[in-house]
Structure 1
């Protein structure tokens, strides 16, 4: 407990340094976007969940660390040595969790190294961005590490409060930092409700039995829908011949999990079905041929359209992926790291809803679950499938395998940027209307098209002062990334084979590499400013900062410049530009 308290002392010091660098009362209401999010679950339960704000230190080209000269030192040893030295804590005060960070209570401390074994960045959690909240931090504010509420009683409390059932996933005992500055001991378990599709991680006070916080593994889509007019099939169907070998990441192809090969829409990375997981689509001809044209003149539930939906969803899930060590979704990881047996389950035309989608991302080792609900008029949507699949990627890669790290209102940004990227076939960057294959409307399912024109899309970083809903805030980030993409493609051109050959330096390849790299570099629940810094760090690491100036201009074009702060108020950000060659 003494070591635990000593860590808090270090965290408090960093918190004071951070918040004293320009923040001034009164606090903007939108500042809560970075640390809080309202959760509604079960029988009307409303919890304002708290996610500690982090200090985020970047070292650009990298700095030395205590074990750099020791070739035999593992990444675990190097990470632990740095944290111990940086926070001045004893060796037993921290423990190693995974290759993406070291967890401390409900705050995950991340460190990253580059290929030269130099430290790129580190973050730690200060538990509050408001001065004074740790004024009375002492051992008395840290709950006893011995539970007085039995696990069985804690599970019963969670089931009753959330209106669900414990799913038998192994529960844990963890400390949870609260906004008021205290730290509570909690039983942590997963609660599900098949009827409502609730899938929550509950933090139950191990001394009172109260539900203190929730992690929602289901990321729901919210659409601004107008009356459906007609289906738009853009782009038209085309036959892709044997796409799997060109991607290089699948030793036995898309239809094998390393031990079993199928001739249907099921394999190592995902299984696409309707109803039961046995209801897949089989090959239409020998040799893994899946030619099932969509029929726009018949109902979505006809056999032809169900097969088309299953085949297209299966293709999308296999087209986008990430590495085993970064906690991807695969049944067989071929001994390359991460947990096994967690391929994505893709339920097409799911009867639990109408004209909507969701994606559930439990921790590594449990399958991600994509549900494409029953359509009233649309048949299938490749952009929406791409969008949902990207949710799984972003949730797994940010913070490391827990799905606890994109949960604040500001960090819970959507994945429109990947769907936007996927639609581009030339170096031109026209306005992007998300979901043209869903509804025929100039703005489609978002409030504005994504655009480089401030007239077409006026959303800026300062727009975050007004909205409080996570999807509205997400549109601001997606539009910023649309402008980043346009800047990079204008500078470097476009590769027409980026989906199968990521080796080039064209703008769309650079964008996607930075998009993925930044996920691993950013801390848990990053606000916009921190996410921007992760992009700059990613460019410094992969491209030696060649795109830094262009990136900074693109972010600044939408109000996220180097002097931006708190959605409105300018302040010097020397730490952001220190080391940048601009």
Structure 2
């Protein structure tokens, strides 16, 4: 990064779960209003006044109602100060997370002293980019000294470097207070999503879309229809968004046979890469939609902000040997950039390694679902590390073919190396993968931290499949009962339950509560045993291992 700002930690979060739920003492009405109940519960729980709490968003799924409430001062929201309340179907509160700043040391005037134009100039100069015209906001930011400063919030982008930043400029002093980085680092002839590397073989898939998730298919938003790698959920291109792959023959046939002996930039290889990335992102859209999440332009009247399909820049010129995903708030497109890898000659294309595409796309899911759609709630080192871990875990989940749980290695193709791009395979063997909760004592890089979390989730997955078996149709049918289906339900449900900037401990607790909400705690002991086997037991704290499980387990 080319900018220097005061070190800034987001407000610390707290998280409580309540098992089968606690009564909402202030309202036991049968026709409970989600907005009113959530706001009143936050007021009661935190002891704050009504004018400091504002309902932000909410939704219901088949097992719970979720409400996200923001903190405000004089009508001005406090950045990343959010509370999330979950109610079960009995209208009882089952979990509560909060990053509210209850007693600030001081609060600046809510009337700005400098203009928005001045703040934009400051941000552009400091961050070497340009204001992208996304509507700016006024928000308070809690500083480390306990003071609350008023800020102009603007988005800054640099098309050459790929930077996409959110700048908080002090609306009185003009100083750059803090920055949110939206970028997370690191018939079709395709590599089917259950396959990881090209040696497993391309296939021609006919009508792979799930029309219960993409009702007008992958090439239409209900109004506009294309014959290119562009549609409601994703657009895959090189350079400019007009540079998509066009069908190889009429009838939406995208049949491009990759030639590994030639450079990835030759036309047929570029078309193969754009097609594969388009297929993978759309497939993940359809899977995650069935389990309660989506990026798409047209939401077909089902709620949420539209106009946010994933943009996939294939063979992006801004980098090499990597990939990234930027996740701004709901209503703006997630941006994926796939780079070439130069460990081999000819180079290899990350868009042809399914687990890398899946990993990046999952950043969009976890950043959007944690904290209610702000894109700001995985910003601490530990929570950002878990973001990397969730992405690896999702890539692995998508590629499981049966009830066996082999060791999983990420990134074998791009480096032409069976060791992959992680330090250890993900494994149930503590010899093969010795990473534990206490490993965080010496790790301070998000991908390294992510390996610890992903390996814990690998073990949770193995435990659930051992208990419930494997459902081969879990990608398209979330009502199946296999352990892989159970795992993905809990994976997605827990993201919504956990607080802004979760820790390993609060994320673990969200998994336990998610199981109570959806499965009446049927997997309580299995989940606890698997987390505890890697040091995240009942008494784990401050990155110190504990193998204890609850009584009865």
Partner of residue 116, structure 1: 90
Equivalent position to 1:425, from 401, 406, 409: 401
Separation in 2, partners of 1:208, 1:255: 49
Is 1:449–2:425 an aligned residue pair? yes
Deviations along 1:417-444, whole A, 9 cap, x unmatched?
0111122112111111101222232431
**Contact 1:349-1:375 within 8 A present in 2 as well:** no
Partner of residue 267, structure 1: 231
Shift of the 73–540 alpha-carbon distance from structure 1 to 2, 3 Å rule, reads: closer
Partner of residue 530, structure 1: 506
Separation in 2, partners of 1:309, 1:218: 22
Is 1:350–2:316 an aligned residue pair? yes
Partner of residue 150, structure 1: 115
Separation in 1, partners of 2:25, 2:487: 33
**Contact 1:555-1:561 within 8 A present in 2 as well:** yes
Q: What is the 5 A alignment of 1:383-402?
A: 383-402=355-374
**Contact 1:66-1:78 within 8 A present in 2 as well:** no
Partner of residue 70, structure 2: 103
Separation in 1, partners of 2:450, 2:426: 12
Q: Secondary structure at the match of 1:202?
A: strand
Greater Cα offset, 44-53 or 182-191: 44-53
Partner of residue 541, structure 1: 517
Q: How many residues align?
A: 517
Separation in 2, partners of 1:76, 1:542: 22
Shift of 1:364: 1.0
Deviations along 1:26-71, whole A, 9 cap, x unmatched?
xxxxxxxxxxxxxxx33x4254221122221111112222576435
**Contact 1:395-1:406 within 8 A present in 2 as well:** yes
Q: Secondary structure at the match of 2:339?
A: strand
Shift of the 68–243 alpha-carbon distance from structure 1 to 2, 3 Å rule, reads: farther
Partner of residue 305, structure 1: 269
Is 1:182–2:175 an aligned residue pair? no
**Contact 1:565-1:571 within 8 A present in 2 as well:** no
Partner of residue 460, structure 1: 436
Separation in 2, partners of 1:68, 1:286: 60
Partner of residue 374, structure 1: 340
Partner of residue 192, structure 2: none
Separation in 1, partners of 2:165, 2:464: 39
Q: Secondary structure at the match of 2:205?
A: coil
**Contact 2:533-2:547 within 8 A present in 1 as well:** no
Q: What is the 5 A alignment of 1:469-480?
A: 469-480=445-456
Separation in 2, partners of 1:214, 1:449: 34
**Contact 1:564-1:570 within 8 A present in 2 as well:** yes
Equivalent position to 1:337, from 303, 308, 316: 303
Separation in 1, partners of 2:238, 2:413: 21
Shift of 1:92: 2.2
Separation in 2, partners of 1:71, 1:210: 50
Long gaps (5+) in structure 2: 59-66, 72-77, 187-195
Deviations along 1:321-343, whole A, 9 cap, x unmatched?
34599773111111111111111
Is 1:403–2:375 an aligned residue pair? yes
Q: Secondary structure at the match of 1:516?
A: helix
**Contact 2:291-2:489 within 8 A present in 1 as well:** no
Shift of 1:285: 3.4
Shift of the 462–493 alpha-carbon distance from structure 1 to 2, 3 Å rule, reads: same
Q: Secondary structure at the match of 1:320?
A: helix
Greater Cα offset, 82-91 or 400-409: 82-91
CA RMSD of aligned residues (A): 2.3
**Contact 1:284-1:291 within 8 A present in 2 as well:** yes
Greater Cα offset, 355-364 or 144-153: 144-153
Separation in 2, partners of 1:368, 1:404: 13
Shift of 1:126: 5.9
Shift of the 327–146 alpha-carbon distance from structure 1 to 2, 3 Å rule, reads: farther
Equivalent position to 1:195, from 160, 163, 171: 160
Equivalent position to 2:537, from 561, 565, 575: 561
Q: What is the 5 A alignment of 1:309-324?
A: 309-321=273-285, 322-323=288-289
Q: Secondary structure at the match of 1:203?
A: strand
Separation in 1, partners of 2:289, 2:197: 34
Partner of residue 259, structure 2: 295
**Contact 2:229-2:274 within 8 A present in 1 as well:** yes
Partner of residue 63, structure 2: none
Partner of residue 500, structure 1: 476
Separation in 1, partners of 2:119, 2:240: 33
TM-score of the aligned structures, taking structure 2 as reference length: 0.89
Greater Cα offset, 116-125 or 268-277: 116-125
TM-score of the aligned structures, taking structure 1 as reference length: 0.84
Shift of the 421–323 alpha-carbon distance from structure 1 to 2, 3 Å rule, reads: closer
Separation in 1, partners of 2:441, 2:271: 45
Separation in 2, partners of 1:154, 1:309: 41
Separation in 2, partners of 1:146, 1:126: 22
